[in-house]
């Protein structure tokens, strides 16, 4: 039975769902000859780790108890003093992480699964990968930091997996890597990579006011608590940057042209979230309505997409043919079109659920299993 030792970073929605997937898949993984040993967990304030990382693991019933505690807002620090584990504060945990990474990284192997949304994990990940550890990411920030940090993570490309940073469980990164490795040059990638904005743009196509659609998306749980976090386009820009860098473009987030769906005067620094929802949104209806009407008269539709072509990387509203894969997009699905020498006339199209804790965690779990050959039995 091959054993994969794992430290999970982030106990939010994706992290908790990953724990549940690991526990639920025990019998399935056993048939494959693999066992995932969760030896440590980190939240924003602390780290919990077993007393002996070589021989012990966090038991499944305790992992589920942690999920319930985190859902209720408790910190891992509340578990200090109970059971055969140790709990460290943030200041204490950095040294402990390096100690564990040094002991396991070059012996039995150790994987870090970053399911947080924090930039504070970047330094830790850069250090542990140099100690022989593997990294699996749902967190986009380590890959969209400086190019120097990006290069450090990819000094050992076999040790890093990051499918869930772009399309949750969709095989976007895997497909791009296969095309790249085959020597087939990719010259254009167009994608709708936000379930929120995909839903918004397909709904306004039916004549619904932009403000009404955004409020409905918030009610359905598609948006962040402040919808401007989605409407700014920054999340799509980070995903576009990850793809662009994968294609060899050594660019930064500042290099990307990003179209926000609200003006600066309605930004968080100038207007509260409540004021934006009550008064700001309706002021945007006319412009969106006019653009929808113009696109329709041209036989097209509006989609919020990223476009990566050569060194160009842009994020914003594009007018696209109604009968194209992106034009046919409805609801909160993600769609990516990849054009290359082999996929010149008819692009490779990847479509499906591109958001949600369940699909994102499933993508992380698949990535963890994908690196099992790097671990000793």
Per-residue pLDDT tens over the stretch 119-133: 999 999 999 999 999
Q: Judge whether residue 39 has pLDDT over 70.
A: yes
The region, left, alpha or beta by phi > 0 then psi within -120 to 50, assigned to residue 207 is left
Rg (CA), the chain: 22
- On whether the CB atoms of residues 42 and 101 are closer than 8 A, the answer is no
The region, left, alpha or beta by phi > 0 then psi within -120 to 50, assigned to residue 326 is alpha
- On whether the CB atoms of residues 140 and 363 are closer than 8 A, the answer is no
Across residues 143-154, what is the average pLDDT?
Answer: 96
Q: What is the 3-state secondary structure (H, E, C) of 215-243?
A: HHHHHCCCCCCCCHHHHCCHHHHHHHHHH
DSSP designation for 277: I
Which is catalytic among the residues 70, 218, 239, 265? 239
Q: Which two tokens stand for residue 54?
A: 């070589």
Higher pLDDT, 221 or 23: 23
126 closest CA partner among 148, 108, 109? 148
Determine the Cα–Cα distance for residues 201 and 234; give it in Å rounded to an integer. Answer: 17
Determine the Cα–Cα distance for residues 136 and 121; give it in Å rounded to an integer. Answer: 12
- On whether the CB atoms of residues 339 and 326 are closer than 8 A, the answer is no
239 classed as catalytic: yes
What b/e string do you get for 327-350 counting C-beta neighbours within 10 Å, with b at 16 or more?
bebeebbbbbbbbbeebeeebbeb
Per-residue pLDDT tens over the stretch 288-326: 999 999 999 999 999 999 999 999 999 999 999 999 999
Per-residue pLDDT tens over the stretch 198-237: 999 999 999 999 999 999 999 988 888 899 999 999 999 9
Determine the Cα–Cα distance for residues 94 and 42; give it in Å rounded to an integer. Answer: 11
Prediction pTM value: 0.95
Residues of the chain with pLDDT > 70: what percent?
Answer: 99
Within 8 A by CB and 6+ apart from 203, the residues are 213, 216
What per-residue confidence (pLDDT) applies to 82?
A: 63
**Which phi and psi (to 5°) does residue 61 adopt?**
-65, -35
């Amino acid at each position: 039975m091959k054993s994969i030792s794992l430290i999970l970073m982030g106990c939010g929605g994706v992290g908790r769902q990953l724990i549940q997937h690991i526990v639920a898949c025990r019998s399935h993984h056993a048939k494959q000859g693999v066992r995932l040993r969760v030896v440590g967990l980190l939240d924003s304030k602390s780290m919990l780790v077993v007393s002996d990382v070589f021989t012990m693991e966090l038991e499944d019933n305790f992992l589920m108890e942690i999920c319930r505690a985190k859902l209720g807002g408790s910190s891992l620090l509340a578990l200090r003093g109970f059971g055969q584990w140790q709990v460290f504060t943030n200041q204490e945990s950095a040294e402990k992480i390096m100690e564990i990474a040094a002991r396991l990284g070059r012996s039995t192997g150790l994987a870090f699964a970053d399911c947080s949304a924090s930039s504070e994990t970047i330094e830790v990940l850069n250090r542990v990968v140099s100690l022989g550890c593997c990294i699996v990411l749902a967190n986009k920030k380590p890959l969209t930091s400086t190019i120097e940090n990006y290069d450090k993570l990819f000094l050992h490309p076999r040790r890093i997996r990051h499918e869930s940073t772009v399309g949750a469980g969709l095989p976007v990164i895997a497909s791009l890597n296969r095309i790249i490795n085959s020597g087939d040059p990719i010259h254009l990638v167009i994608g709708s990579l936000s379930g929120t904005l995909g839903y918004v743009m397909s709904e306004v196509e039916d004549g619904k006011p932009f403000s009404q659609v955004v409020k409905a998306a918030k009610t359905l749980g598609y948006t962040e608590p402040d919808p401007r976090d989605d409407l700014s386009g920054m999340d799509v820009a980070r995903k576009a940057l990850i793809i662009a860098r994968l294609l060899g473009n050594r660019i930064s987030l500042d290099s990307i042209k990003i179209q926000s769906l609200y003006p600066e005067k309605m930004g968080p620094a100038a207007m509260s979230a409540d004021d934006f929802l009550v008064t700001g949104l309706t002021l945007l209806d006319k412009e969106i309505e006019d653009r929808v009407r113009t696109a329709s008269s041209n036989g097209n539709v509006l989609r919020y997409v990223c476009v990566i072509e050569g060194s160009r990387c842009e994020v914003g509203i594009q007018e696209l043919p109604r009968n194209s894969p992106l034009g046919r997009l409805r609801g909160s699905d993600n769609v990516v079109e990849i054009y290359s020498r082999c996929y010149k006339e008819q692009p490779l199209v990847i479509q499906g659920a591109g958001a949600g804790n369940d699909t994102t965690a499933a993508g992380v779990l698949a990535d963890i299993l994908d690196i099992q050959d790097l671990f000793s039995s």
